[in-house]
Amino acid sequence: MEAGLKYQGIRIEKTGPKKVEDIVTVEKPLQISINGDAFTVVMQTPGEEVELALGLLYAEDVIKKNTPHQLTIHKDEENTVIEIDLEIEKQLLGKGYLSSRSLLSVSSCGICGKQSISDLGASGERLSSTEKLTAPFIFDLQNKMHAAQKIFPQTGSIHGAALFDVHGNLLACKEDIGRHNALDKSVGALILQGNLDMAKTLFFSGRISYEIVIKSFRAKIHTIIAISGPSSLALDYAKEFGIHIIGFCRENRFTIYTDPTFFE
């Protein structure tokens, strides 16, 4: 299925109403199962479902980067992927699989389904980096992400998540109606490629929320740059995890919210 479909509407302008035909971002449910049992259902934009499943399960600490597994892809009569089933030996499943989770994650919420505040945390060593960022470097990343986005120019209603290495080389840029789905797809793509360790910077089209910081920390991404701003909880976690946060990167300006010593 295509990521965008044509819909008719009426646009109201100063000169009066006008019939228009817009391309609208598609939103469909995808069930992610483990060993035949449903783990979660995500609302997502069709395409790159395997990457989404791997990225989400990695972010949830269900699998590791190199966890052996087999995939079964189920499609409906329209050839749309409706389920990804991962076959994994039970002893290889992470603690994220053992924690209870409800079976719905909507496209706008990465923490929906968590059952207690204690489920929101993450463990691991604080990230550290010695690289310095400059304004031209940051704006170059922004230009590269915009050039890599294929669906946004058509619909204007889809998020993008671009991952870069320390030199600013684009490793992956995925799009989805859910901002956290876009990041999961990019992380999942690098898991498939075997080069997730190279990802150091995330350039993101949406706001920087708690779940984006957590997912980045799991992937050891030490810098997040976004077109929109961060939430207070995102900043609190970013400072704890050693993640640099840059928000409102647009129109040749941006705001540094964490330790500014990494910028020159």
Domain ranges of the chain: 28-118, 135-262
Position 116 scores a pLDDT of 43
CATH of domain 135-262: 3.40.140.10
Query: Residue by residue, what is the 3-state secondary structure of 128-154?
Result: CCCCCECHHHHHHHHHHHHHHCCCHHH
Position 115 scores a pLDDT of 42
Task: Describe the chain by its helix, strand, coil percentages, rounded to 5.
Answer: 30, 30, 40
For residue 57, give the H/E element and its range. Answer: helix 49-59
| Residue ranges for the chain with pLDDT beneath 70 | 1, 99-123
Position 255 scores a pLDDT of 96
Q: Which residues are annotated as a binding site?
A: 248-253
Compute the distance between CA of residue 166 and CA of residue 263 in angstroms, rounded to an integer: 14
Position 260 scores a pLDDT of 87
Strand partners, 43: 29
Question: What is the model's pTM?
Answer: 0.88
Position 4 scores a pLDDT of 87
Q: Tell me, what amino acid is at 215? A: K
Catalytic site includes residue 109: yes
Q: Tell me, what amino acid is at 75? A: K
Which of 50, 109, 122, 148 is flagged as catalytic? 109
Neighbours of 264 (CB within 10 A): 9
Position 47 scores a pLDDT of 94
